[in-house]
């Protein structure tokens, strides 16, 4: 029982360095802008800015939550078949949700949902793939 308690004990510092969280979240936002710029519908500058910022904010909020709860070590274990950890999936999900909310309730509320969700899905996928390799 003591070994299990030690394994789950929170560390005094966060699992991920704050500078790394900020840096890679900004990179994810820039990559999301690059990917969305290939889609003619998404090429409006305001739309790209919203998508990039929301991807950055979503990924940062996920990793700051993991740091605040000291849960990073529990979530950063790859699944045996798909090789994606919950930490990786969480960054993609948070980027998707924040981007979908920012576009859907903001500038693009009159646009078809498939376009807004498609843009948000691309942003979330970019965050997930980047997260697989860097955090």
Domain assignment present for residue 10? The answer is no
pLDDT recorded at residue 55: 97
Query: Rounded to whole angstroms, how far apart are CA atoms 57 and 63?
Result: 10
Give residue 78's pLDDT: 72
pTM summary value: 0.84
- Would 79 be classed as within a structural domain? yes
Chunked mean pLDDT (size 10), the chain, 135 residues: 45 73 95 96 94 96 89 73 85 96 92 95 96 85
For residue 6, being part of any structural domain is answered with no
Q: Does the residue 124 lie in any domain?
A: yes
Closest among 59, 61, 50 to 102, alpha carbons compared: 50
DSSP code of residue 134: H
Asked whether 100 and 117 are in contact (CB, 8 A), the reply is: yes
Instruction: Quote the number of domains for the chain.
Output: 1
What pLDDT is recorded for position 87?
A: 85
Work out the angle at residue 118's Cα, subtended by the Cα atoms of residues 115 and 121, and round it to the nearest 5 degrees: 155
Task: Print the domain residue range for 92.
Answer: 16-134
> Do the domain assignments include residue 3?
no
Question: In this predicted structure, what is the pLDDT of residue 134?
Answer: 84
Residue 5 lies in a domain: no
- Please check whether residue 38 lies inside any domain of the structure: yes
CA distance 40 to 32: 14
Which positions ≥6 away from 34 have C-beta within 8 Å? Answer: none
Assigned domain for 52 exists: yes
């Amino acid at each position: 029982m003591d070994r299990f308690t030690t394994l789950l004990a929170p560390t005094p510092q966060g699992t991920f360095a704050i500078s790394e969280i900020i840096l890679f979240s900004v990179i994810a936002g820039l990559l999301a802008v690059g990917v969305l710029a290939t889609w003619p519908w998404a090429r409006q500058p305001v739309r790209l800015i919203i998508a990039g910022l929301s991807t950055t904010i979503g990924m940062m909020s996920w990793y700051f939550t993991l740091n605040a709860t000291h849960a990073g070590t529990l979530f950063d274990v790859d699944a045996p078949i798909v090789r994606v950890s919950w930490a990786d999936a969480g960054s993609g999900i948070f980027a998707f949700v924040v981007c979908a909310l920012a576009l859907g309730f903001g500038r693009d509320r009159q646009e078809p949902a498939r376009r807004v969700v498609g843009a948000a899905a691309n942003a979330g996928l970019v965050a997930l793939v980047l997260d697989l390799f860097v955090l």
